[in-house]
Structure formats: C-alpha cells, structure tokens
Amino acid sequence: MHYYDVALLGSPLGALTYHSRDRVEPGFKVTVPLRENERDGVILNESRQHRDDTAALLGVTELFFSTQQLQFARFISEYYFASIGEALSLFVPFRLNGIDIDRKPHFLEGEFLLSPVQEKAFHFITSYPVSLLFGDTGSGKTEIYMKYFEEMLLQGKRSLFLMPEISLTPQMQKRLEAHFGDAVVMWHSKLTKKQKEKALEKIRSGEAGIVAGPRSALFLPIEDLGLIVVDEEHDDSYKSSSRPRYHARDMAIYYGKLLDIPVVLGSATPSLSSYVKFPHYRLKGGHFQSERVFEFEAHTEGITLKIESAIEAVVAQNEQAMLFIPTRANFKYLICSSCGYTYECPFCSVGMSVHRYRRQVRCHYCGYAEAIPQHCPECKTGDLASSRLGTAEAVEYFHEQKPEWRVAQFDRDKITTQKKLKELLHAFNEHEIDLLVGTQMLSKGHDYHAVTLAVVLGLDNLLSLSDYRARERALSLLLQIAGRSGRKKAARVIVQTFNAEFFSAYIDGYERFLEEEKLFREGMYPPYKKLCRVLFAYKKSETAEAAMRQMETGLRAFKSVEIVGADKAPIEKIAGKYRYQILLRADKSTELIRAIKATKVPLAEIDMDPIEFG
C-alpha cells in the first residue's frame, strides 16, 4: 500500500493523507473523497504517515503539474500565506504526451528589422536575466518584444507575453498575428469555455509559440518556455485582490529564475521598484513626433466652459477627443443638502454610486443595489444632491447639451465583453465617435490615431490618497492618458488640478521624478523596505478588533518588525463585515514572514507587498 499527501485544489485546508495500491508520481491530478463529496487534488509526495484510517484515491487523471509548477506553487503558498491547494488552483496542469508538434517558425512578414536605437535596446535586454525597457509611448517597445519572440521561436523556444487584461486589445492581437500567424494564442477572462479549451489545446500541443494574456497566463502549461515579457509592468491589475494575493510581475521574475530564462519588464512609466532593482534601457521619443501641449485648469472636478469649448473646437475640426474621469456611473456620492448625510451602502461604510440608466444606486464594493432614494433617510426632509462626476453623467450631459456630437462611454459598465471592446475601438478608429468618455481603460495601451485633445479630471483625488505611491500613480496615469493623444497631429492635454506645479515639473521628465522619489521613499517605503498589511474582518466589530489586538501583542516581541499602525481600516465595513488592519514594515520579507508565522491568528488575512491601503 502507498500513502500520499494530497493538496485539495482551491481548499484552505493543508495536505491530507490518502492511500492507493498503485504508485502515483508527485504532481498528478487525482480525485479523492472528502466527507460525502469528491474533490480534485494533487499528489504532493509519498507520505511518511501510514495510518489505517486513510481513504483511498478514487482516480488518477492524465493531467499533472510539473516539478517547476509544484516548486512555484510552494513558494506562492509560503510567501503569500495561502494553502498549497489555493496556490495550485492558480495553475493549469500539463497533460501526458502534451507536445506533439515540432514546427519550424514561419514569419508572415519576414524577419523583424529594428532601427539602430531599437537594436541597442534589444542587445541590452538580451544581456540580462531581468531587465527594464523604459520606453516612451510610441518608442517601439512592442517591436523589440516581437524581435525577441522571433529569436525564441528560431531557438525552438516559446514566449509568454503578459499584459494588463484591458491591454489585450484586438489591435495587439492583429499585430501579433500579422507577423506570427497561428503561432499566437490570446488568453483572457472573456474567452468562452470552448475558446479556452481550443487555446489550451494549442498551448499543450506546442502549436502556440507565443502566449499573450493577463496575470492568469503566468500559470499556463507552456513547455519549453524561453522568455517572459511583462508589459505595462507598473499596472496595479497585476496584483491579485483575493487569496493568494500574489503580484504577477514579481512572480514572473521568480518563475524566470526558477526556469533560468530571461524576463523583460516594459513601461513608459515604470514603477520605482523596478527602476531601482533592475538594469534599465531608456528608449526616448518614438514614431509620433507631433507636439503635445499641456494646459492646467485649477478647478474642482467637473465639465467647465474651458473644457467644453476645447472639445467643441476639436469636433468642429473633424478631429477626436478623449475625456478621462476616474469614476464610472452617474455620480459617486449622494449627499443631503439639508443635514450633510452621505447615502451609504447598508453593508459597507462607503457612499453608493448613482446608476441612472439602471434607476438604482449601487455599491461598487459588495454589489448591493436599490432604487434611487427620493429623500434623505436621516433627516427625512432634505433632498439628496449628487457629488463627484461619473462617466455616465458626462455622457448624458453631452447628449443633452450637444446632441450633434457622437459621444461614447468607455468603462466596465459598458464594455462587458471582448466583442464590445472590439466594436467600440473599431468605431473610434473609423471616426464614428467624436468624444470618448472613460475611466482608466482609456490609458491601457490602445492605439488611437486621430486624438488631438485629451482632458483629464480627478487627479487631485488620486494625489490626496493616503498611499505612499499616490504621486507615482497620479503622474503615471496622466502620462499614460496623454500618450494616447497627438499621434498624428499636434494635441492639447487639459488637466484639471490644483497641483499644476507638481505635474508640470515632471511631464517631460518621468526619469527625474523617479530619481527624486527615491529620496522620498528611502528608509521608509518600498523598494527600500518591505510592507505587509494584515486584515481582520468579522460581522461583529469587537471580535475583529480582539483578533487584531491579540496578533498585535504577539508581533511586539519581534524587534526587527515595525508596527506602523493597528486600528480600524479606512473603509470600516464591507459586505456586512467590520474591518481592522495592522500595517507592518521591515527590512526583509523573511523577517515579516517569520513574525507572522509565529503570531498569526485564524481571522488574519495576510497581504504581502500591499498596493491598496483603503
């Protein structure tokens, strides 16, 4: 009889012991009984415990997790404080007899020819195990990546191209397929079950030479992987908000070391962490030499006469404009004009957002919705006034005031499928839309040809957040949005802010900003220190607080770990649960891990390297 430690996929439980008369290699996916149910599991190793009360394996599949995947999952489990079953559930397993295609690469457009400047950049990134391609918007980063993909295919190796999900545009797919043909597989959450099965078939068979996808693509079963590229490496969507709370950029770097393959990070506005940690090549300028003029308007968030006149002038010239607003829906908050009460979600301590086309207010945290209230529930008499403009409200305003303008909304409320994204981008590039009103989706790598005006609202809200990266995030967002304009003609960028002095100082010098930001963070914040946020949430406030205080007391024994703060979370309640948090700081992550392992209480949720503090 053989005994095995089995990790249950997706379960917070530790490994359980099962037995089998047959020998099963570590890594194979199996089915096992658990109480009255059948569960999927993974053989971790042969167990040293030979107990009489173990259950038998029900079946062994032809799917398996490679040695590197098991090692990778163990690291994620340890570092991010998740169970091994939760870590393994991120991965897609290999299949026995997977690769059956050994095809010679065929490039539809001939081999890539780079400019002398791009050649220097290419030589630089091929000289380091991990490198940062710090290239302005339009400087040709994608061509350099594609040249590297080409080199990998010629060596019989495959490449993984990670991008934020919203950057997986039809334009990028078209560009890759135009050169590499059916060797390209696009992987993302909008694929149907059938499309995912077809994509996996190409990946497992070896037919896919280049796999492009968001953070989840890092865990696909790509054999003979030779290169990982992480584009828009600064983007926060690489960080998972649920357990395991991994950061895909950091895990791509770890996986590259594990497989001994190069990792390239790329961005026009790289994170300070990557800029400090890795050798970088600065790629300036680009294909688009048009002039871009920045103008600042000191005004609270809203559509002013200046903005409206600027859009009108652009539309009159048969050109296009973009309007960035950080908030979707009609308005972010409803506030009583009599008593000042903010209409909050009954389950979360946040204001409800107005969705007028749905005739409801909705919580963007827990999803609770109800009909738009007519009067203040606090004083019973006051009217509820709207606060903080949203994308839907701006679109409605222009439809009413300027019905002749062709205005479209570009946010998660409207773009719910890949088909809708494709149709809207096509309509915009075919100039069937004059003004595109959107959230951060506007900034994500889309190629807009004829935008001569970009208007940016709401940066001051981002700048005022209690977040050590607030300056970096606000400036990066401005430059990313501005970079979508002025590609063929000179463009105006109107920025509504009371902090013009800060933004104007770095518009033409993001590198200078990073150098100065280093001084601001040294000795206090990443990349010079490691942070960890410990969250406690429970339906009774006193229970959550007691758990926090218990762990806080234990942590005080660890002198190498600083307790920055321990109190209520900035958003005290979400989905009916009261929230408390401890913020920890140390020189090394190993010090944090050691302290947390020794003091962790059952209610504690660990967020290593947090990027969200609200």
Full set of structural domains in the chain with CATH: 2-95 (3.40.1440.60), 116-282 (3.40.50.300), 292-328+390-521 (3.40.50.300), 331-389 (no CATH), 530-608 (3.30.70.600)
Q: Are strands 407-410 and 435-438 parallel, antiparallel or unpaired?
A: parallel
Placement of tokens 């220190």 in the chain: 529
| β-sheet bridge partners, residue 227 | 159
pLDDT tens, residue by residue, 289-325: 567 899 999 988 889 999 999 999 999 999 999 999 9
Q: How far apart are CA 392 and CA 409, in angstroms?
A: 7
- At 42 the three-state DSSP class reads strand
Q: Assign residue 397 a region (left: φ > 0; alpha: ψ between -120 and 50; beta: otherwise).
A: alpha
Show the tokens assigned to 354: 């107005």
Distance CA 608, CA 161 (A): 25
Q: Which helix (H) or strand (E) holds 69?
A: helix 67-79
244 preceded by cis ω (within 30°)?
A: yes
What's the confidence (pLDDT) of residue 414? 85
Six-digit token string for 426? 């096509």
For residue 371, which phi and psi values (nearest 5 degrees)? -65, 150
DSSP 164-178: -GGG--HHHHHHHHH
Q: Give all strands (DSSP E) within 149-243, no chain letters.
A: 158-162, 184-186, 210-213, 225-231
Q: What is the pLDDT of residue 448?
A: 76
Contact 409, 325 (CB under 8 A): no
**């949203």: which residue's tokens?**
390
Q: Which two tokens stand for residue 416?
A: 């719910």
List the chain residues with pLDDT less than 50. none
Tokens of 322: 């973009």
* Residue pointed to by tokens 């497989």: 259
Q: Are 134 and 388 within 8 A, CB to CB?
A: no
Give CA–CA dist 237/412, Å, rounded.
Answer: 14
